[in-house]
Chains A and B, each alone.
Chain A
């Protein structure tokens, strides 16, 4: 359930870079993060078709290519940034508009590119892109045991809200 306005942090989050953002990851690979362009649909589909099933959370990304395509159509109605290693999509972060003048956030990094500092750059670039496009309220849910993800979200200013439930619920004001 998305949060009420009163459940967001009082203050706004810090500053974030606007994409494009280029850097070398911890493996020395040259990575570029750019806003999604509709010509890049197939490359993003390819990343998700090859996604490790163990990295799935709360039913996403979907398991079959057909459902991945439907799901991405929905996500690409929102704001999206993609991390590239050359012409290969290796990470994707998205802000999907909801019903309360808010956006739901999710971030995915391909298993070959995890633990290399890409997620941290990707979420900051997404929030920079969101702020530049007038996004104010951002929320997400995350599995409680996923301490790496919770730590990442806290590092950019997300705070926990809501009653106890299976997933941890977090919100941030841009």
Chain B
């Protein structure tokens, strides 16, 4: 399968990165990691890229890494459709102090607009 992981730097997206890399390695999937500009995240794109490359190196797994500029939700959906991915993977939300799951705005947009299957990692 051809998998597109979107990562904007929030903690849940970092967790999604780690889980998706190990899953793709086990399943023999092709993986592309798209680094997004998430205004809700404090991590800079260059820091995220370092984190992505470290995670791939630790896993001994190869994936394409690309930067996606502009509005992250719509850009990711466009990329998934135009480049023929089978699945989009994103972080599954942060938890409030109470423990309530709160989806990020990127996940909300992609869930409602993606023409391909979307996986949210918990």
Contact = CB atoms under 8 A, between A and B. Distances in A.
Interface in A54-111: 57-60, 62, 71, 74-75, 94, 96-99, 104, 106
A57 B101 CA distance: 9
A1 interface: yes
A59 B105 contact: no
A98 B97 contact: yes
A163 B109 CA distance: 14
B96 A166 contact: no
Contact of A141 (B40, B100, B105, B108): B100
Interface in B50-104: 95-103
Interface in A138-174: 141, 163, 165-167
A166 B97 contact: no
Contacts of B108: 165-166
B102 A75 contact: no
B96 A141 contact: yes
B102 A96 contact: no
Contacts of B100: 57-60, 104, 106, 141
Q: Is the interface of B mostly helix, strand, loop or mixed?
A: loop
Interface size class of B (residues with CB under 8 A): 10 to 19
A124 to B, nearest CB: 19
A42 to B, nearest CB: 20
A2 B97 CA distance: 9
Nearest to B96: A104
A17 B109 CA distance: 42
B114 to A, nearest CB: 16
A60 B98 CA distance: 9
24 contacts: A1-B40, A1-B102, A2-B96, A57-B100, A59-B99, A59-B101, A60-B100, A62-B99, A71-B99, A74-B97, A74-B99, A75-B98, A98-B96, A104-B96, A104-B97, A104-B98, A106-B98, A106-B100, A141-B96, A141-B100, A163-B105, A165-B103, A165-B105, A166-B108
